[in-house]
């Protein structure tokens, strides 16, 4: 039996690797522990969840958006449906971790309001200094639409991270 498909698969894999640029981490080292600490403050109400984040440098500080990922249903009548996960978040503990809070606001767009269809439905923004580093944190009620699910749930109730 010929194994000619193996060299072809290997060649295709090599071409794919060449086409991809390695993702560089341009974030400063001090920001990763902050992301990890804030992620620990999310408390999923369904026993398990996966926190996602997005970082970007703005004119005056780093901005980090965090959210609890959705859960994709696998099998059954709702196969492929992505469900947002309910959670609690310890706002007081987050406040305590800042050296200085300059701004703290809650923005809410009712889901039925079509004028804000592309906006996050609800988010909390905290701006200030964390270990003397200027930062803006955004806690978003659900992930951006471009982000895929963080978990899969099977008909037997078992969940796994993606």
Bigger pLDDT: 143 vs 66 = 66
Instruction: Look at residue 101 and tell me if it is in a domain.
Output: yes
Instruction: Look at residue 106 and tell me if it is in a domain.
Output: yes
The total domain count for the chain is: 1
Instruction: Look at residue 10 and tell me if it is in a domain.
Output: no
Residue 14 — pLDDT band, cuts 50, 70, 90? Answer: low
Instruction: Look at residue 109 and tell me if it is in a domain.
Output: yes
pLDDT digits (tens, 9 = 90+) for 61-70: 999 999 988 8
In this structure, what are the phi and psi dihedrals at residue 12, rounded to the nearest 5 degrees? -60, -40
| Range scoring the smallest mean pLDDT among 77-91, 103-117, 136-150 | 103-117
Average pLDDT over residues 64-85: 86
Average pLDDT over residues 94-109: 94
- 99 is in which domain, residue-wise? 26-161
Query: Rounded distance, CA 71 to CA 47, Å?
Result: 12
Instruction: Look at residue 21 and tell me if it is in a domain.
Output: no
pTM of the shown model? 0.73
Instruction: Look at residue 3 and tell me if it is in a domain.
Output: no
Query: Rounded distance, CA 151 to CA 80, Å?
Result: 12
Instruction: Look at residue 16 and tell me if it is in a domain.
Output: no
Bigger pLDDT: 46 vs 142 = 142
Give the whole-number percent of the chain exceeding pLDDT 70.
77
Instruction: Look at residue 129 and tell me if it is in a domain.
Output: yes
């Amino acid at each position: 039996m010929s194994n000619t498909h193996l060299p072809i698969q290997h060649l295709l894999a090599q071409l794919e690797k060449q086409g991809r640029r390695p993702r560089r981490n341009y974030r400063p080292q001090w920001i990763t522990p902050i992301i990890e600490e804030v992620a620990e403050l999310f408390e999923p109400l369904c026993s398990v969840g996966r926190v996602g984040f997005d970082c970007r440098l703005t004119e005056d500080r780093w901005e980090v958006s965090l959210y609890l990922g959705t859960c994709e249903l696998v099998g059954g009548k709702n196969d492929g449906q992505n469900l947002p996960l309910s959670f609690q978040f310890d706002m007081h503990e987050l406040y305590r971790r800042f050296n200085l809070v300059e701004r703290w606001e809650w923005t809410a767009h009712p889901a039925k309001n079509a004028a804000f269809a592309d906006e996050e439905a609800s988010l909390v923004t905290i701006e200030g200094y964390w270990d003397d580093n200027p930062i803006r944190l955004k806690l978003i009620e659900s992930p951006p639409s471009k982000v895929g699910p963080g978990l899969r749930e099977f008909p037997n109730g078992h969940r796994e991270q993606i």
